[in-house]
């Protein structure tokens, strides 16, 4: 009997690296923010606008991006997106005004909008359901492990090349990876190194292998599909949850280094290394969540327990961010933030609910709406924080984030109900 090949893990590695680059181009602004603010004389409210500009377009285009993912192959779509958002990243190294920065960040949001729906579709195509949470955990961990190890590197690059050099280097990396993606990626049914045994294994476990359904069925779109995406309580449960967990994540992606340097008085270089610790905690959380969730499924536990439990625990842990308001010790500040981001990592397998709940022909669209809600939090939270901290006190901002974590906990606990695919 032919043994299955394991090409799906090679594909997962490609998605992982793409996620690292994706978040490199989202987060470099947080490292550069303090220097940009000083050089260009920008206030906290103006920096909040720059931080959030990415999310204005990113969130607004999630639904069109999800539709695009349903009709354009990842091999073609991803290199185009990578090249365009990397060019917008690179251009930031040559600009001098608030308006130009807002424009560049908004452009990055446009071209990154389809990326996570695309990631989810790739994993849904390449992995059976019993392995899917682990696969999602692995590629999602790219945003945490990449940031954990890249944050000190980005700080060092900026110390040597300045904030302009930081953006130029980041953009060149993305353009190079776009070429490699096109060379290396194929859909399962078109990959020359995948044998039939692996295809059978994926399909038998519920993997939606590209090419198994009629092309017109995959590409057909009906405006009534939008009603489906917004008319189910189960879906609203994950949408609200995504907004809440996204608010904590965007704090770390934007305001966190500024919080350490400006509001806690840490040295810039030292803050770069301390800032990596919560990302490492989140990395541990997301892998623990994904692999433990799949292990519970294999042992016969229901999806209500196996899929929800890590997210509920994670939302509760995320509330620990409030503890940083009650200490001036650097160790305890980093500890509370690391516990909160560990919780955020535990919740990051939430994408598995898109795979489990969405009608099979609408996975891209539902993924787009789901990510729209996360993007919406990224659009409003940096601005809200900018206003909350404009008088020099960061405590209200941390209370705000902790309260949203509690709302997310209630959303998953009370709205989703039985975890089963919606039939239409």
* pLDDT tens, residue by residue, 170-188: 999 999 999 999 999 988 8
C-alpha 176/C-alpha 320 separation (Å) is 39
Per DSSP, 94 falls in state: G
pLDDT for 291-323, tens place per residue?
888 888 888 888 778 888 899 999 999 999 999
C-alpha 12/C-alpha 136 separation (Å) is 9
Q: Which helix (H) or strand (E) holds 7?
A: helix 7-40
Q: Predicted confidence band at 224 (pLDDT cuts at 50, 70, 90)? A: confident
Of the two residues 423 and 79, the one the predictor is more confident about is 79
**pTM score:** 0.71
Q: Predicted confidence band at 217 (pLDDT cuts at 50, 70, 90)? A: very low
What pLDDT sits at residue 117?
81
What pLDDT sits at residue 94?
94
What pLDDT sits at residue 216?
41
What pLDDT sits at residue 220?
56
Are the C-beta atoms of 290 and 133 separated by less than 8 Å?
Answer: yes
Q: Is residue 344 scored above 70 in pLDDT?
A: yes
Of the two residues 202 and 40, the one the predictor is more confident about is 40
DSSP string, 220-249: ---THHHHHHHS-HHHHHHHHHHHHHHHHH
Q: Predicted confidence band at 214 (pLDDT cuts at 50, 70, 90)? A: very low
Q: Is residue 125 scored above 50 in pLDDT?
A: yes
What pLDDT sits at residue 272?
62
Backbone angles phi, psi at 347, to 5 degrees: -80, -10
Are the C-beta atoms of 372 and 62 separated by less than 8 Å?
Answer: yes
Q: Is residue 4 scored above 50 in pLDDT?
A: yes
Structural domains in the chain, CATH included, are 7-204+223-414 (1.20.1250.20)
pLDDT for 126-174, tens place per residue?
888 778 778 887 887 787 777 777 777 888 888 889 899 999 999 999 9
Question: What's the whole-number average pLDDT of the chain?
Answer: 85
C-alpha 318/C-alpha 281 separation (Å) is 12
Give the mean pLDDT of 76-90.
94
Poorest-pLDDT segment among 14-23, 228-237, 239-248, 284-293: 284-293
First to last CA, the chain: 38
For residue 279, give the 3-state DSSP assignment.
Answer: helix
C-alpha 125/C-alpha 73 separation (Å) is 12
Q: Predicted confidence band at 269 (pLDDT cuts at 50, 70, 90)? A: low
Q: Which two tokens stand for residue 92?
A: 């930031």
């Amino acid at each position: 009997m032919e043994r299955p090949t394991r090409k799906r893990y090679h594909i997962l590695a490609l998605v992982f690296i793409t996620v690292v680059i994706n978040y490199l181009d989202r987060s470099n602004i947080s490292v550069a923010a303090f220097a940009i603010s000083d050089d260009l004389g920008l206030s906290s409210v103006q920096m909040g606008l720059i931080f959030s500009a990415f999310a204005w377009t990113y969130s607004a285009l999630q639904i069109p991006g999800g539709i695009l993912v349903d009709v354009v192959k990842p091999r073609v779509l991803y290199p185009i997106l990578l090249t365009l958002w990397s060019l917008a990243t690179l251009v930031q190294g040559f600009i001098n005004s608030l308006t130009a920065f807002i424009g560049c960040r908004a452009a990055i949001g446009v071209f990154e909008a389809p990326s996570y729906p695309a990631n989810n579709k790739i994993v849904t195509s390449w992995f059976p359901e019993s392995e899917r949470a682990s696969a999602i955990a692995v590629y999602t961990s790219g945003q945490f492990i990449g940031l954990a190890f890249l944050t000190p590197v980005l700080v060092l690059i900026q110390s040597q090349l300045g904030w302009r050099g930081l953006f130029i280097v980041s953009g060149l990396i993305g353009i190079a990876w776009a070429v490699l993606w096109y060379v290396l990626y194929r859909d399962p049914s078109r990959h020359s190194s995948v044998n039939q045994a692996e295809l059978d294994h994926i399909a038998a476990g519920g993997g939606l292998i590209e090419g198994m359904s009629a092309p017109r069925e995959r590409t057909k779109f009906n405006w009534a599909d939008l009603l489906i995406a917004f008319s189910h309580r189960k879906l609203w449960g994950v949408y609200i949850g995504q907004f809440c967990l996204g608010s904590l994540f965007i704090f770390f992606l934007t305001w966190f280094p500024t919080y350490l340097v400006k509001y806690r008085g840490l040295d810039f270089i030292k803050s770069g290394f301390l800032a990596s610790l919560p990302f490492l905690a989140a990395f541990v959380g997301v892998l623990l969540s994904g692999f433990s969730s799949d292990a519970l499924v294999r042992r016969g536990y229901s999806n209500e327990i196996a899929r929800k439990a890590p997210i509920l625990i994670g939302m509760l842990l995320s509330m620990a961010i409030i503890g940083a308001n009650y200490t001036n010790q650097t160790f305890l500040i980093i500890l509370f933030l690391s516990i909160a981001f560990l919780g955020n990592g535990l919740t990051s397998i939430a994408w598995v609910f898109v795979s489990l709940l969405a009608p099979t022909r609408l996975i891209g669209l539902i993924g787009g709406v789901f990510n729209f809600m996360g993007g919406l939090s990224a659009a409003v939270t940096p601005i809200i924080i900018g206003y909350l901290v404009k008088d020099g006190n960061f405590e209200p901002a941390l209370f705000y984030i902790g309260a949203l974590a509690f709302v997310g906990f209630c959303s998953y606990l009370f709205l989703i109900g039985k975890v089963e695919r919606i039939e239409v």
